Amino acid sequence: MISQEQQDLYFDNILIPHFISQVDRHIYSMLIGRDLRVRICSNLTAQSIGFSSYHEVVGTSFLDYRNPEMCVKVFGAAYDSEHKQQIDRHIENILDLQYSVLNTGAVRCFIDVLPYQNNLRAWLTTYVPIYHPDGDIIGIHAISVATKFLRFQDFIGDPLEDYELLDIKLTKREHEIIFLVANGIVQEQIGQILGISRSTVATVIASLCIKFGIDGYSAKLLARKAIHYGYYKHIPSSLLQPCIITVDDDNPNVVL
């Protein structure tokens, strides 16, 4: 491995000067050093995490988010006693992905889902290793685009606590599953998101089919019924938590 001084010189003399033209572009992009600290990023990226400009982000790291003061600055009121543990776990998962890129040279692609104003915002993020001409991995180029994780992302209302407010009485688990089905999430992903087996998902869907008067078993017909009755817009409050869905071809997974 080349020295830290050589890494710094390559960033300062080659990578950062080439990146400068992206700073004011409408793009979410950043360069991260092997120490996991941001060397430079676009202003749009800085603003998406609560800063005014890229100058404030340079030198920061997800390692800093282990400090509660940093989490409060970035996540604001969402970093409360109810969600603190979830956010802390989410940060550790992102750090694991960064270490994976640096240690293996693999490109990692994932959907970063975060609760925001009673909805879910999602970013499709790709981590690409940065190689020094000598062949050593010296950092990560992160590129993100906003994506609609849910089919009806723009029509979701306030989270619902009382499932009996809906036309058909649902349990908490049934509400979670019918919401995800209505929003185009497939059964395997539903199981991963909720931390249950695919067979359990199928059992709940079968129960929902009966409640909705569907003969036999059909997740497709259930989705149509759920959309017709508006279940797609009633997000369960239990789903308002951060999660990472890795979409690498060789390693698909969901990490809550």
7-11, 62-66, 219-223, 246-250: range with highest mean pLDDT = 7-11
The pTM of this model reads 0.79
What is the three-class DSSP state of 247?
A: coil
| Most distant CA atoms of the chain, gap in Å | 68
pLDDT digits 0-9 by tens, 207-232: 999 999 999 899 999 999 888 888 88
Segment 192-196 long-range contacts (CB within 8 Å, at least 24 positions apart): 192/245, 192/253, 192/254, 193/239, 193/243, 193/245, 193/254, 193/256, 195/256
CATH number 3.30.450.20 given to 4-149: yes
- What percent helix, strand, coil does the chain show, rounded to 5? 45, 20, 30
From the centroid of its chain, how far is CA 44? 17
Do 81 and 94 form a contact (C-beta atoms < 8 A)?
no
pLDDT digits 0-9 by tens, 139-169: 999 999 988 767 654 445 555 555 555 667 8
Domain boundaries, the chain: 4-149, 153-238
Q: What is the pLDDT of residue 117?
A: 58
Level-2 CATH architecture, domain 153-238: Orthogonal Bundle (1.10)
Nearest to 152 by CA among 225, 48, 230, 204: 230
| Number of helical H runs and strand E runs in the chain | 10, 7
